Amino acid sequence: MLKSYKYNKQFNNLGGNNGMDASTLILYIVVLMFLLISFLKDRKKTGEALLKAWKSFFMLLPPMLTVIFLLGFIVVFIPEKTIAAYIGETSGFLGFLISSLVGAVTLVPGFVAFPMAKMLLENGAGIAQMAVFISTLMMVGVVTAPLEASFFGWKATIGRNLMAYFYSFLVGYIVWMVVRI
């Protein structure tokens, strides 16, 4: 079935070069339908909601652009072979370890993590390694540990982070097993 992940721009493409796939188009249509229903029901609240969404978008834009810039820098200056060697499909446990450590110490919001993983996949990273990376990125908080400890104590913080860290390896292993099939 799936031996390895290699990004394919033609997968599920609706034709043309816009890169929009069928699921994206369906989601856009559904969102526009709900927006129209909301607008017909209460124009004022819909306008306020759209204004709030616009402001939120501009609040999220700087960190997202920063990460995109850093990823562009990585992709341009670090050859695909190097990315593949350290966190590629054949990097084995070392790739899992590197991905997990980078994910554990990185403080990036989820909406940035997935495009980041996609860009790394396109440039030679392995899918199981990216599963470990995203899992540790979302669940392990080395940077936020002092704040978490102030609420729950160091024992609970370290315990939760260790469980999440090792669980991330389980996630990566399961992804690796599924992709191998």
> According to the model, what pLDDT value does residue 16 have?
52
pLDDT along the chain (181 residues), means of 10: 44 53 90 95 95 91 79 79 89 92 86 84 91 94 92 96 96 92 76
- The per-type count for the chain, helices as H runs and strands as E runs, is 8, 0
- What would the two tokens of residue 41 be? 């029901």
- How far is residue 35's CA from residue 41's CA, in Å, rounded to a whole number? 10
Q: Position 163: which residue type? A: M
CB-side neighbour CA atoms (13 Å) of 34: 7
CA–CA distance, 100 with 12 (Å, rounded to integer): 31
Query: 């060697």: which residue's tokens?
Result: 85
Please state the pTM of the whole predicted model.
Answer: 0.68
Per-residue confidence (pLDDT) for residue 150, from 0 to 100: 93
Q: Are 124 and 88 in contact (CB under 8 A)?
A: yes
